Structures are given as structure tokens and as C-alpha cells.
Structure 1
Amino acid sequence: MERSEGERLHAERRKRFWSLLGILALIGAVSGFIGGFMIGHEEASGTSLSPSLMTAAAAGVVLVAILVAYFSWRFFVTVDEVELADNLWGSLIGFYVYAILFPAWYAMFKLGKAPEPDDWLIFGAAMITATVAYGVRKWRSR
């Protein structure tokens, strides 16, 4: 049985979707491995990285940021309206967690009622919340 034009277009769109997610995951995995290796080597040897290696690492961070921004943009122009809406809702909810949690924690810190805000904890909470919100929207649309 021959596939219809709509089925072929849907298959191509899904292939682009998963390809772009794969590229973003690969960028994250490679940059995470290299960064973790460099930090681990620095800590294990007890020495600092050379200035030239620090410059190369800084250039790598800038390159990864540019690549992630570019492929994220490609992802959002490739996906359909439903996927875009799910991502936007997840992102918005994650942003609100960050926008509410950080100032509240900082105010409590300034009032002497809490320790200094933990940037990574707040970032992690925002990312986890965004991922859960995205997952809930996907689950509800099944």
C-alpha cells in the first residue's frame, strides 16, 4: 500500500524532529564529557589549566552556546503548532518557577531567614518543572 502525501510529510517532519533532538543531545553529551573531563583532570592533578587551555575552553563554551541556540531555533521552526505550544507552556512554567523562587529566596536571605540562594538548585528546579509541565501537556494530549 502506498503512503499518502500527508503520511509522507508527517514522517519527514518526525524525522527532522528526532534528528534535531539527537543533534542537541549530542552537543550536550560531547560538551558535558569534555568539560567534565577537563574539570576532573584539573582536580585530580591539583593544578590549574594552562592559559591557552582556558582560552580554548572559553571558545568551546561560546561555540556550544551558539550551536545550541542555532539548533534550538531550527527545532522551533521545524515543529508543528502543537509541539510548539507544548514547549512554550513548559518553558513559561519553568521560567515562572525561576522568576518566583529566586527573588523570594533572595529576599529571605536578606532578611536572615534562609541561606544564600543556590543558583544551581534554582536552575535545576526550573528545568525539572519545565520538563514535567511539558510532559503533562504531552500526556494530556494523547
Structure 2
Amino acid sequence: MATRETTMPDDARDRGMVSIIGWATAIVIATGFIIGAFAGYSDAIAIRGGTPLPVWLGPLVALAFCGAAFTLYARHHRATWRQWSARKRRYGLAIALLALIGGIVGAWFSVQLPHDQGPFEAMRADAFSPAFAIGASILWVVGLAAGMFFYHRAIDDHEQRAWLWAGLAGWYAFVFPAPAWWALHRAGIAPEPDVMLLFLVSLVVNSLVYLWLKFR
């Protein structure tokens, strides 16, 4: 039977963890927003016939903001981080790494979008540059592997059980519709299978089951 850790953190440590994870996530989101804002403004200028901003300007400003924000973040949370156990540090590191990778890929995606296409149009069209495709693929595979390594070393029995059942549910959400969709497409009844749509459905199911089992 799965059990939780016998020593539970007190309210102060719980608030410390929420603050550390929450602020790190907020910084990553804000960094991506800055890049997207620069890209959107530059596209608007180009549509009106003006000279767009340099492509590197948005990422440079966002990188400067991200560096400054994380410097202040590290100083503010240094004491809380030192109070954490090794397991909690690995957990925080895994979450931060995965959030950072997601932020980088999302920001890069927004920068390389053609000004006449939205994100959903670009995902369904041949709009990716080779550099983005290769870089995002490497970040996804290597970063996810590293994040999962730290994550699985940090979780307890309760969270491991939630993760395993969530992974199985996500697999079912993919393995049931994928062959059926493929067969219907081969018969000319359905459009070509969309692997990213199937992935997103699997991811949503995985997340819902994980959150329900972890926090119920």
C-alpha cells in the first residue's frame, strides 16, 4: 500500500515551496510574454509597411529580464532552499528545469512564427524552420529526460503511484483512438491522423488523473 512520508512539512515550509515554484514559473511565463510581445509588435510594424525590429532584440531583452529576475529570486529564497531536504531540492530542481525548457521552446516558437500566421495555423502548416525543429527536439528529449531523472529520484510512494496510474491513463487515451483513426483514414472516412492532437489528448488525460490521485 502506498504511503506518504511520515514527516510532513509545516505550514511555513509549504508556503515556501509554493512561493519558490510559483515565482519561478511566473518568471518563465513573463520571459516568454516579453518575447511574444516584441514579436507581435514587430509583426504589426511589418504589416503596416514599416521596418520590423531586429529578430534578436526580443530574446535579448527577455534574457536580460530573466537573468535579473532569477538573481533576485535566488537571493530571496536562498534561506528557504537551504532548509529543504535533499529530496525536496531534487523535486524543485526537476520542476524548475521542466518549466524552463517549456518556456524556452514556447518563446522560440513565438519568435519564429511568420507574421501572417497564428500559433494554431503554424502548428498545422509547414512553418517550422530547421533550426527550431532541431533545437526544440533536442531540448524536449534531453531536457525531459533530465527532468524526469530528478523527478523520479525525489517523489514519494504516494506521488509515484499517482504518476504511474496517470501515465497508464495517458497511454490508454492514445492507444485507443490512434489505430481507429488511422484505419478510418485509410478507408477515406476520416482526415489524416494528427499526432499532436492525439498527444495533447493524452497529456490532458494524464494531467487530470495525476492531479486527482495526488490531491484527492
Unaligned 5+ residue runs, structure 2?
1-6, 14-83, 117-126
- 2:196 is the counterpart of 1:125: no
TM-score relative to the length of structure 2:
0.50
Tell me the residue number matched to 1:3: none
CA contact (8 A) 2:88 2:154 kept: no
Tell me the residue number matched to 1:16: 90
Aligned runs of 1:17-56 on 2, under 5 Å?
A: 17-38=91-112, 40=113, 43-44=114-115, 54-55=130-131
Tell me the residue number matched to 2:154: 78
More deviation, 131-140/110-119: 110-119
For residues 134 and 191 of structure 2, the distance between their equivalents in structure 1, rounded to whole angstroms, comes to 31
- 2:138 is the counterpart of 1:62: yes
For 1:61-88, what per-residue CA distance to the aligned partner results, in whole angstroms no more than 9, with x for missing partners?
3144212211211111121111111111
Give aligned-pair identity as a percent.
26
For 1:97-122, what per-residue CA distance to the aligned partner results, in whole angstroms no more than 9, with x for missing partners?
10111001111222333222222211
Aligned runs of 1:130-141 on 2, under 5 Å?
A: 130-140=206-216
For residues 182 and 195 of structure 2, the distance between their equivalents in structure 1, rounded to whole angstroms, comes to 11
For residues 90 and 104 of structure 2, the distance between their equivalents in structure 1, rounded to whole angstroms, comes to 21
Unaligned 5+ residue runs, structure 1?
1-5
For residues 191 and 136 of structure 2, the distance between their equivalents in structure 1, rounded to whole angstroms, comes to 33
Q: Alpha carbon RMSD of aligned pairs, Å?
A: 2.9
Displacement of 1:93 after TM fit?
0.7
CA contact (8 A) 2:97 2:143 kept: no
More deviation, 129-138/64-73: 64-73
Displacement of 1:57 after TM fit?
5.7
Displacement of 1:125 after TM fit?
0.7
Tell me the residue number matched to 1:91: 167
Provide closer, same or farther for how the CA distance between residues 139 and 118 of structure 1 changes in structure 2, counting only shifts above 3 A.
same
Provide closer, same or farther for how the CA distance between residues 106 and 24 of structure 1 changes in structure 2, counting only shifts above 3 A.
same
| SS in structure 2 at match of 1:61 | helix
1:116 to 176, 180, 192: 192
| SS in structure 2 at match of 1:44 | coil
| SS in structure 2 at match of 1:117 | coil
Provide closer, same or farther for how the CA distance between residues 55 and 113 of structure 1 changes in structure 2, counting only shifts above 3 A.
closer
Aligned runs of 1:95-106 on 2, under 5 Å?
A: 95-106=171-182
